[in-house]
């Protein structure tokens, strides 16, 4: 028989729905080099693909284009899905447990637009060879940085039509929280 405290914890857990953080990432290759960003994180300076959280009202491809422009000052047009990834991260300093669902795209990158300011926390952009990306794995924000690049190098691509965004995502006013 469960005591009152244990029963309350079970009921609370049943009422709480687990929701991963949805992120989008751009896997950008040009002339044998990959575009990464260096950014401040709670764990220090880290390398990442241009990536960020999906915002309300946008499709994953739109979110990826927006995040890439904000973090790199390069326009980006997704042309293929590289993969969908699920990862879990426990923040060393706080023990915070975070699960990410990452939708990664490759595509066409535009010219650098130096008049645009990089997002808060972004220190710089870097064009790195695959070996340089591999050699810097200890500095990656997530193991997905390397996994996405390796999948891209292996030729993994899926048609953008595999991701459907219902019209209601953009057509309806944002949900009230």
Asked if residue 11 has pLDDT above 60, the reply is no
* pTM for this entry: 0.86
Give pLDDT, residue 177. 59
The per-residue b/e assignment along 10-39, b for 16 or more CB within 10 angstroms, e otherwise, is: eeeeeeeeeeeeebbbbbbeeeeebbbbbb
Residue 165: which of 103, 109, 121, 82 has the closest Cα? Answer: 103
* CATH architecture of the domain with residue range 19-165: Alpha-Beta Complex (3.90)
Give pLDDT, residue 171. 80
Largest CA distance in the chain: 66
CA distances from 59 to 63, 66, 136, 166 (A): 6, 11, 31, 9
Look up residue 132 and give its two tokens: 């340089």
Stretch 161-170: mean pLDDT: 92
CA distances from 32 to 128, 133, 140, 163 (A): 8, 12, 19, 28
| Secondary structure of 68-89 in HEC code, one letter for each residue | HHHHHCEEEEEEEEEEEEEEEE
Stretch 101-130: mean pLDDT: 96
Please state, rounded to an integer, the average pLDDT across all residues of the chain: 91
Give pLDDT, residue 62. 97
Residue 26: which of 88, 74, 87 has the closest Cα? Answer: 74
The continuous run of DSSP H or E covering 11 comes out as helix 4-15
Domain limits, the chain = 19-165
Banded model confidence at residue 126, pLDDT cuts 50, 70, 90: very high
CA 87-90-94 angle, to 5 degrees, is 155
């Amino acid at each position: 028989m469960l005591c009152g405290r244990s029963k309350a914890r079970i009921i609370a857990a049943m009422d709480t729905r687990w929701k991963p953080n949805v992120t989008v990432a751009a896997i950008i290759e040009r002339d044998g080099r990959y575009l990464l960003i260096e950014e401040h994180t709670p764990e220090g300076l880290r390398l990442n693909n241009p990536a960020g959280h999906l915002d309300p009202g946008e499709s994953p491809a739109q979110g990826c284009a927006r995040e890439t422009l904000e973090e790199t000052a390069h326009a980006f047009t997704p042309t293929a899905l590289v993969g969908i990834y699920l990862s879990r991260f426990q923040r060393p300093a706080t023990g915070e447990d975070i699960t990410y669902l990452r939708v990664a795209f490759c595509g066409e990158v535009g010219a650098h637009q130096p008049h645009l300011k990089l997002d808060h926390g972004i220190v710089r952009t870097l064009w790195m060879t695959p070996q340089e990306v591999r050699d810097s794995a200890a500095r990656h924000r997530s193991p997905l940085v390397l996994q996405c690049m390796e999948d891209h190098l292996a030729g993994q691509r899926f048609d953008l039509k595999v991701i459907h965004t219902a019209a209601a995502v953009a057509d309806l006013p944002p949900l009230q929280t």
